């Protein structure tokens, strides 16, 4: 896979500093959106699908572990909630053995081996050393970790939770696999510079409940800010890649996916999602408004779909209290000729699934009307999906991995720009027009030339 999930955990937004990203173009993939979930092949037809148990409509068995008195069970749950598997497992490789390349705007960082292997894993780490890594971002040898590992979030976890994670990780099969050296340019390859970064932007700080709020809100706040590390993607970053503390959850961008605003903005945030719809989305990857794909699809697949309903409700409770901009009038002035061209393409190529009225078939073919990602100022996500296609992730509640095919070979840059502009400006949607130049820039990475 050319574009692993873990990029999202990298200092998103530093591209302004770092120049071209090093993400390699993915192989042509008629159905995929570049998901790290392996694609099915003739040799391995089941690769599309979770390998750890049959989907059912019931709540995940492990959900009960959230409050288990057994640290191993509770640790497994927290490891899922923290989505550790995603970064610390190379596609096709052994779980938690690391060595997954994580593309950053500066270079490639390889995730570490967190199996209990004594030599290459964390089997010989003490409890203190493990806690220091999560709480202070300090490696066993004293070196500073890069915030690709989201210790600025994990620092909020109380020691008991961290030790539960460690107890669980001690039970996974040990794998001997050394972590390849990172490929970072000077001076970032000197871990010492992270001391400066930490001094500027990092404070180790265990989560403190707010007694004025409900226990549910506090649980949600803890999960979102701590193990869930949602802000790693969904909070805008400053020039040095640190989350901007005065704009939490106002959306970000990582590796050519737009990370939605989690604030309650009307047009491009979560204002129109009810608490139940947020739970539905995190549980199944779909709700009445949209379908998870791309990086967030992987988060749903490997993390939130395994969490308890109680915790998902808590997360939703917390998110619904976030502030948000009210209704905004459409301020864009779309070009009529572009809209007409876009509509013609839309009718020909999109209506079979998304319907002429943009209503789609909720939870199956996502509605375009009112979609927040579609209306984000930055059109990267919609252009990328038209070019490369997308695949919804199979979850226990919704096991069908429905895919949208790639249109790169069928539509040229201007045609994609026109249809993207059309869907961003129709049915009450409003967002800036998309240019052929913007499409061309992404085509190099996510699709070949038009046939």
Interface with other proteins (CB under 8 A): 30-32, 40-43, 45-46, 48-51, 53-57, 349, 352-353, 361, 363-365, 389, 391, 394, 397-407, 409-410
Smallest gap from residue 46 Cβ to other proteins (A): 4
* Residues 48, 368: Cα–Cα separation, whole Å: 26
* Residues 314, 219: Cα–Cα separation, whole Å: 6
- The candidate with the shortest Cα–Cα distance to 421, out of 379, 449, 450, 381, is 379
Smallest gap from residue 96 Cβ to other proteins (A): 19
- Which own/partner contact pairs does 222-225 have at CB distance under 8 Å and 24+ positions apart? 222/156, 223/81, 223/311, 223/314, 223/315, 223/318, 224/315, 224/318, 224/319, 225/153, 225/156
The tokens for 357 are 């009225």
Q: Are strands 252-254 and 108-110 parallel, antiparallel or unpaired?
A: unpaired
Does residue 266 contact residue 325 with C-beta atoms inside 8 Å?
A: yes
Does residue 88 contact residue 112 with C-beta atoms inside 8 Å?
A: yes
Smallest gap from residue 358 Cβ to other proteins (A): 15
Smallest gap from residue 403 Cβ to other proteins (A): 4
The tokens for 104 are 């950053």
Nearer to other proteins by C-beta: 208 or 361? 361
Place of tokens 């699809």: 297
Nearer to other proteins by C-beta: 45 or 187? 45
Beta bridge partners, 144, equal 138
Nearer to other proteins by C-beta: 398 or 443? 398
Smallest gap from residue 142 Cβ to other proteins (A): 43
* Residues 282, 271: Cα–Cα separation, whole Å: 16
Smallest gap from residue 168 Cβ to other proteins (A): 21
Backbone angle region of 253, left / alpha / beta, with phi > 0 → left and psi within -120 to 50 → alpha: beta
Smallest gap from residue 437 Cβ to other proteins (A): 24
Smallest gap from residue 406 Cβ to other proteins (A): 7
3-state secondary structure of 239: coil
Nearer to other proteins by C-beta: 334 or 397? 397
């Amino acid at each position: 896979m050319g574009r692993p999930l873990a990029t999202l955990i990298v200092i998103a937004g530093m591209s302004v500093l770092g120049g071209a990203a090093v993400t390699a173009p993915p192989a042509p993939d008629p159905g995929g959106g570049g998901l790290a979930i392996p694609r099915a092949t003739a040799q391995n037809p089941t690769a599309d699908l979770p390998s750890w148990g049959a989907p059912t409509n019931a709540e995940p068995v492990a959900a009960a572990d959230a409050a288990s008195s057994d640290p191993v069970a509770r640790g497994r749950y927290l490891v899922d909630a923290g989505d550790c598997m995603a970064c610390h497992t190379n596609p096709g490789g052994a779980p938690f053995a690391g060595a997954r390349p994580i593309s950053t705007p500066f270079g490639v960082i390889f995730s570490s081996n967190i199996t209990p292997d004594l030599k290459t894993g964390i089997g010989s780490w003490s409890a203190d050393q493990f806690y220091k890594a999560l709480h202070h971002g300090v490696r066993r040898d004293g070196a500073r970790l890069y915030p690709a590992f989201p210790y600025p979030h994990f620092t909020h976890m109380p020691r008991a939770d961290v030790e539960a994670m460690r107890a669980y990780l001690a039970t996974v099969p040990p794998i001997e696999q050394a972590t390849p050296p990172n490929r970072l340019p000077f001076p970032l390859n000197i871990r010492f510079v992270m001391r400066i970064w930490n001094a500027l932007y990092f404070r180790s700080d265990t989560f403190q409940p707010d007694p004025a709020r409900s226990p549910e809100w506090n649980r949600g706040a803890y999960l979102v800010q701590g193990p869930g590390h949602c802000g790693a993607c969904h909070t805008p970053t400053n020039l040095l890649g640190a989350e901007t503390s005065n704009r939490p959850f106002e959306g970000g961008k990582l590796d050519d996916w737009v990370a939605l605003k989690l604030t309650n903005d009307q047009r491009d945030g979560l204002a129109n999602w009810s608490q139940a719809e947020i739970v539905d989305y995190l549980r199944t990857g779909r709700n009445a408004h949209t379908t998870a794909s791309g990086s967030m699809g992987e988060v749903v697949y490997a993390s939130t779909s395994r969490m308890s309903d109680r915790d998902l409700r808590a997360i939703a409770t917390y998110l619904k209290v976030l502030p948000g901009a009210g209704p905004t009038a459409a301020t864009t002035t779309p070009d009529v000729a572009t809209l007409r061209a876009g509509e013609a393409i839309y009718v020909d190529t999109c209506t079979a699934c998304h319907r002429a009225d943009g209503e789609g078939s909720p939870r199956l073919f996502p509605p375009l009307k009112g979609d927040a990602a579609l209306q984000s100022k930055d059109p990267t996500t919609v252009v990328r999906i038209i070019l490369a296609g997308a695949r919804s992730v199979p979850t226990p509640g919704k096991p069908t991995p429905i895919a949208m095919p790639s249109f790169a070979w069928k539509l040229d840059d201007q045609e994609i720009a026109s249809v993207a502009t059309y869907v961003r400006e129709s049915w009450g949607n409003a967002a800036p027009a998309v240019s052929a130049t913007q499409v061309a820039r992404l085509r190099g990475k996510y699709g070949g030339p038009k046939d």
